[in-house]
Amino acid sequence: MPRPCKHRRCHSHRGDRVFKPRSIPMTRLQSIHLELSELEAMRLCDLEGLDQTQAGRRMGISRGTIQRLVSHGRAKVLEAIVENHALYIEEGAHHEDLYTE
């Protein structure tokens, strides 16, 4: 039996929830769903320049989980950009909005 997942502390995303290519109607686009925890892991590692261990401590999860979140998140963002898909940012099942600095 697998271990239960830890809750991931993330900042609330106050911006747009959907990003799509200009001049293509949503009805003609495939959608990719980016979890808020993937966005937060990328923000901490790529934007703030934290290493994965530090980012894991801030989110309350392991370094390995951060590595997976960053890897999956980057792949989703690149696929949305390269393949002209809509990108939805959504809360995942294990998201907690408890993260304060």
Predicted confidence (pLDDT) per residue in 84-99, tens digit: 999 999 876 555 665 4
Q: Is 76 helix (H, G, I), strand (E, B) or coil?
A: helix
Q: Answer yes or no: are the C-beta atoms of 94 and 9 closer than 8 Å.
A: no
What per-residue confidence (pLDDT) applies to 53? Answer: 96
> Taking the CB of residue 96, how many other CB atoms lie within 10 A of it?
14
2 has pLDDT over 90: no
Predicted confidence (pLDDT) per residue in 26-69, tens digit: 999 999 999 999 999 999 999 999 999 999 999 999 999 999 99
The structural domains of the chain, with segments of one domain joined by +, span: 9-92
Q: Burial letters for 54-84: b for 16+ Cβ neighbours within 10 Å, e otherwise? A: ebbebbebeeebbeebbebbeebbeebeeee
pTM exceeds cut of 0.85:
no
CATH 3.30.1490 given to domain 9-92: no
83 has pLDDT over 70: yes
